């Protein structure tokens, strides 16, 4: 009764990986356990908490609701891919550090990817828009106050970079 395996090519943070997985393997599990990219965290496995959010062709997606086999031929970005090329923190990451936007850090990768996509679509969010941007992610530690500040600070940092 052996499980049928599929060869899948996953492109993550610009690097291509070949994995052999059963059809039912979640993308979140493939990233974490097959590729060792453990920065993506799994908080609920039913798509509600947002901790496992990654970017699929730039769009935020819950990697616990995707199968690894369905991620072939897409560009995936995880939290590990958000740092600058020189290894320094990217603007959203930097904003979180400055604003104390994280405590235990477990939900953080999902917020970082979500905000990265959000600021690309809306580089200058109003305060209300900054709150809306993170309204699909759960955090149990911070009470969100400093995460909202981090969204606004990240927008500032990105503005400085592009000006």
Partner 1 sequence: MTTKLMGQAVQRVEDQRFLRGEGRYVDDVAVGPGTLHAAVLRSPHAHAKILDIDVTDVLDVEGVHAVYTYDDLTGPMAEPLPLLIPHPALTHGRTQYALAKDEVNYVGEAIAFVVAEDRYVAEDAVSRIRVDYEFLPPVVGVEAARAAEHLVHPDVPGNVGARLEQNVGDAPAAIAKAPHRLELDLTVERSACMPMEGRGTVARWDPDVNRLQVWTSTQSSTGVRAAIAVKMGLDLGQVDVITPDVGGGFGVKINHPWPEELLVPMAARVLGRTVKFTEDRREHFISSAHERGQVQHIEVGFDDDGRLLGLDVEFWHDHGAFTPYGLIVPIITSTQLLGPYKPQSYRVVFESLYTNTVMVTPYRGAGRPQGCYAMERTMDAIAAYLGKDRADVRAVNFIQPDEFPYDQGLIFQDGRELEYDSGDYPASLEKIKALIGWDEFPAYQREMAAQGRKVGIGLACYVEGTGVGPYEGAHVHVETSGKVKVATGLTTQGQGHATVFAQLVADELGVKFEDVEVVTGDTRRMPYAVGTFASRAAVMSGSAIHLAAKRTKEKVLKIAAEALEADENDLQIVDGVVSVKGSPGTSIDLGTVSVLSNPLRYAFDEASKAATQFSVGDPGKPPVAEDEEPGLEGKDFYSPERATFASGMHAVIVETDPDTAEITILKYAVVHDCGHLINPMIVEGQIHGGVAQGVGGALYERMAYDESGQLLNASFMDFLMPYVTEIPDGIAIDHLETPSPLNPLGIKGAGEAGVIPSAAVFAAAIEDAEGIPVRAMPISPSELFHLRESQRSQEHSS
32 binds partner 1 (CB under 8 A): yes
Nearer to partner 1, 117 or 134 (CB): 134
141 binds partner 1 (CB under 8 A): yes
Residue 90 CA to residue 87 CA, distance in Å, equals 9
Q: Least distance to partner 1 from the beta carbon of 16, Å? A: 19
Nearer to partner 1, 39 or 125 (CB): 39
Burial 134-163 (b: 16+ CB within 10 A, else e): beebebeebebebbbbbbbbbbebbeeeee
> What would you report as the CA-atom Rg of the chain, rounded to the nearest whole angstrom?
16
Token code pair at residue 59: 């769009």
Residue from 6, 11, 17, 48 that binds partner 1 (CB under 8 A)? 48
144 binds partner 1 (CB under 8 A): yes
Beta strands (DSSP E) in the chain are: 5-12, 15-22, 53-56, 59-62, 75-77
Residue 18 CA to residue 45 CA, distance in Å, equals 24
By the 8 A CB rule, do 31 and 40 touch?
Answer: yes
Residues 92-111 that bind partner 1 (CB under 8 A): 93, 96-98, 100, 102-109
70 binds partner 1 (CB under 8 A): no
Nearer to partner 1, 75 or 98 (CB): 98
Give the interface segment with partner 1, choosing from 36-44, 67-75, 116-124, 152-160 (CB under 8 A): 36-44
Residues that bind partner 1 in the complex, under the rule CB under 8 A: 1-3, 22, 24-25, 29, 32-34, 36-46, 48-49, 51, 78-80, 82-83, 89, 93, 96-98, 100, 102-109, 112, 127, 131, 134-148
């Amino acid at each position: 009764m052996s499980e049928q395996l599929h060869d899948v090519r996953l492109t993550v943070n610009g690097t291509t990986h070949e994995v052999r997985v059963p059809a039912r393997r979640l993308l979140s599990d493939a990233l974490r356990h097959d590729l060792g990219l453990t920065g993506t965290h799994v908080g609920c496995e039913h798509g509600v908490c947002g901790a496992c959010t990654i970017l699929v062709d730039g769009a935020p997606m819950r990697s616990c609701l995707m199968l690894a086999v369905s991620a072939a031929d897409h560009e995936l970005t995880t939290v590990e891919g958000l740092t600058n090329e020189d290894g320094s923190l990217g603007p959203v990451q930097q904003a979180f550090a400055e604003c104390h936007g994280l405590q235990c850090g477990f939900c953080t990768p999902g917020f970082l990817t979500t905000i990265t996509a959000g600021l690309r679509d809306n580089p200058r969010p109003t305060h209300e828009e900054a709150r809306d941007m993170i309204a699909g992610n759960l955090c149990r530690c911070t009470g969100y106050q400093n995460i909202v500040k981090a969204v606004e600070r990240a927008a500032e940092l990105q503005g400085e970079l592009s000006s």
